[in-house]
Amino acid sequence: MRNCKVCGIQIPEGRIKILPNTVTCVEHSETSKFAINIVSQGDPEKGDLNQEVEIIRDPKTVEELNYYKKQQGTYF
């Protein structure tokens, strides 16, 4: 068994099976702090399913983006 490098609690076995190199518990995982914003999208009617995305790591920017999407009615 392995303990979280941040808080010291035991990392669940299931998390270690899925992410064998993990060194943190779910609460201290960095992956929950990212967001993805679709920048451009292909035309599905023409069979173009490509999307260009930007990965946002700054929590304040993620919050602002979510607020903007709610205001625009595109938040899902």
DSSP string, 3-59: B-TTT-PBPPHHHHHHSTT--S-STT-GGGG-EEEEEEE--GGGT---EEEEEE--H
Verdict on whether the full-model pTM lies above 0.75: no
Q: Are 65 and 37 in contact (CB under 8 A)?
A: yes
16 residue type, one letter: I
Give the tens place of pLDDT for each residue, 27-71: 888 765 667 777 778 887 888 888 888 888 777 887 888 788 788
**What average pLDDT does range 4-15 have in this prediction?**
92
Q: Compare 4 and 50 and report the one with higher pLDDT.
A: 4
